[in-house]
Amino acid sequence: MFAAVWKAIGMPATKLRSFMGGIHPLKRKELTRERPIEPIPLPGKVVIPLFQPAGKEPRPIVSKGDIVTAGQVIAEPQDGRGVFVHSSVCGKVKKVGRFPFPAGFFVTAAEVEVGEGEKPFPPMERTPEGPEIIEIIRNAGIVGMGGAGFPTHFKLKGAREAGVEFLLVNGAECEPYLTADYRVLMERTEDLISGTKLLLKASGAKRAYVAVESDKKDAYDRLGGMVPDDDVIKPVLLRAKYPQGSEKQLIEAVLKREVPAGGLPADVGVLVQNVSTACAVHDAVAFGKPLIERVVTLSGTPLKRPGNYLVRIGTLIEDLMEAAGPDRDNIGKVIVGGPMMGFSMSRLDVPVARETTGVVLLSRVEAEVEPSHQSCVRCGKCLYVCPMFLPTSEICIAVERGDYALAVKLGLENCMECGSCAYVCPSRRPLVQWIKTAKLFAKKVKK
Ligand code: SF4
Ligand code: SF4
């Protein structure tokens, strides 16, 4: 049922412009698509967030004045879901305290003044098996790098216990502007295959599919030419459309399996991991390298050098922007995470987190100040576009009233935060933003 209806309303990227009224993802991706991954110079300081969206926040084990090296553990997990957090640079801890986070709230973080003494991570001679790989992943602080930031070891453990059949490696990257995963697919193909094999071992899944959208056909071809002939890892080409990158949609598109409402991919025998996460797993096992840096797309017309940059975790957005030559007089909006699912920034002293996929700058004209939002006019457009078939307008009215219990009852937690509803709303109601914030409140209420 879900499959049939979704196919009927699925939006090919080529038609998205008329549907979405402006953003054409294929065109916008052209800004950075051909820009190879490039490391940015080390900033003067980093602010490394300890926040993780599931489980207890890791406990800091460093304090002001401590000297740290790149890759050193600075926070330890406090429960089974938690991961270790590492310093992304060599330097001196200036402060451990509360700092602003891209999602709009404050989290505990460690500010480190960048010093010298970087050393490469040497190759490691080891061939770990399932549970050992999961432990390495946890120790390396690896979380879902596609945007969710969920602890990878915990997902793997659940998948192993559930006896999943398939691993789905998510290279769809359907969000407009973003091309970091595309560059990873093109430039780190061998590492991606190695990471995929490790994820297969760790999860116990027998076969992996690497899902790539048709606007990245060259990446699909490249992968197809490099995977072994044994049919264990198979690239899959999907129609380019938005949204498609959520776990549930991807599973439906590749495996024709429907994850029940409130259920998990493991319930239908599947584990989903992002392409960058797979590469991080390779780095952790092959080099003992924790997750201290990632590829971030920095894009938008106010930038002279938009591109895909290799960035240390904790680099502030204001420092990252410098790498791309911003026209500061022409910045209308800065969005962390992509225009559909990301957060619009009111300040730039927020750090790149492990799950930060991109930073998009809109010019003053592109971001033309919109009139403030109005009441819901019951047009039903948000209901029509919602891929999860949620009563979005009702959920948001409940959220506006602060009735999170009702919002949860109406399906708040099934929202995949694709942003389609907010995009089409004629009353310019910030629907997805309300939902994202309400999810965090709902979690606190549950605790
Ligand atoms: S409620 Fe909005 S953001 Fe959530 S899945 Fe539906 S359309 Fe996407
Ligand atoms: S699209 Fe906006 S105005 Fe229309 S029903 Fe949904 S919330 Fe209300």
Cβ 339 vs Cβ 27: under 8 Å: no
Q: What is the pLDDT of residue 7?
A: 33
Q: What is the pLDDT of residue 444?
A: 59
Ligand lying nearest the CA atom of residue 427: 2
CA 92 – ligand 1 centroid, Å: 43
CA 1 – ligand 2 centroid, Å: 25
Q: Where are the domains of the chain?
A: 2-30+125-287, 45-114, 381-446
CA 394 – ligand 2 centroid, Å: 9
Tokens of 405: 């219990």
List the beta bridge partners of residue 148.
none
Identity of the residue numbered 12: P
CA distances from 188 to 207, 255, 280, 388 (A): 20, 25, 11, 33
Report, in angstroms and rounded to the nearest whole number, the Rg of the chain calculated over CA atoms.
Answer: 21
Q: What is the pLDDT of residue 369?
A: 58
Q: What is the pLDDT of residue 374?
A: 87
d(CA 58, CA 51): 7
Cβ 94 vs Cβ 113: under 8 Å: yes
> Would you say the CB of residue 427 lies under 6 angstroms from ligand 2?
yes
Mutate to test the pocket of ligand 2, among 381, 394, 410, 415 (most ligand atoms within 8 A of CB): 381
List the beta bridge partners of residue 151.
143
Tokens of 436: 């994202």
User: Per residue, what are the HEC states of 334-401?
Assistant: EEECCCCCCEECCCCCCECCCCCCEEEEEECCCCCCCCCCCCCCCCCHHHHHCCCCCCHHHHHHHHHC
Report the top-level CATH class of 45-114: mainly beta
pTM score, two decimals? 0.85
For the chain, the straight-line distance linking the first and the last C-alpha, in angstroms and rounded, comes to: 35
d(CA 151, CA 141): 8
Nearest CA to ligand 2 atom 6: 382
Q: What is the pLDDT of residue 370?
A: 60
> Would you say the CB of residue 416 lies under 6 angstroms from ligand 1?
yes
In tens digits, what is the pLDDT along the chain, a chain of 447 residues? Answer: 323 322 322 333 333 333 344 444 445 899 999 999 999 999 999 999 998 877 788 999 999 999 999 999 999 999 999 999 999 999 999 999 999 998 888 999 999 999 998 899 999 988 899 899 999 999 999 999 998 889 999 999 999 999 999 999 999 999 999 999 999 999 999 999 999 999 999 999 999 999 999 999 999 999 999 998 888 999 999 988 888 878 888 999 999 999 887 788 999 999 999 999 999 999 999 999 999 999 999 999 999 999 999 999 999 999 999 999 999 999 999 999 888 888 888 899 999 999 999 999 999 888 875 667 888 999 999 999 998 899 999 999 999 888 888 999 999 989 988 888 998 999 989 898 889 888 877 765 555
Superfamily of domain 2-30+125-287 in CATH is NADH-ubiquinone oxidoreductase 51kDa subunit (3.40.50.11540)
Tokens of 142: 């690896």
Bridging pattern class, strands 91-100 and 85-86: unpaired
CA distances from 24 to 28, 29, 233, 241, 339 (A): 6, 9, 31, 11, 11
135's torsion region: left (phi>0), alpha (psi -120 to 50) or beta? alpha
Q: Where is 171: in which H helix or E strand? A: strand 166-171
Q: What is the pLDDT of residue 32?
A: 96
Bridging pattern class, strands 207-213 and 233-238: parallel
Cβ 320 vs Cβ 359: under 8 Å: yes
Q: What is the pLDDT of residue 123?
A: 93
Which atom in ligand 1 lies closest to the alpha carbon of residue 392? 1
d(CA 51, CA 79): 13
d(CA 183, CA 311): 14
CA 355 – ligand 2 centroid, Å: 30
> Would you say the CB of residue 431 lies under 6 angstroms from ligand 1?
yes
The structure tokens 């939002």 sit at 373
Q: What is the number of other CB atoms lying within 10 angstroms of the CB of residue 302? A: 23
Intrachain domains 2-30+125-287 and 45-114 with the same fold: no
CA 266 – ligand 1 centroid, Å: 22
Q: What is the pLDDT of residue 70?
A: 97
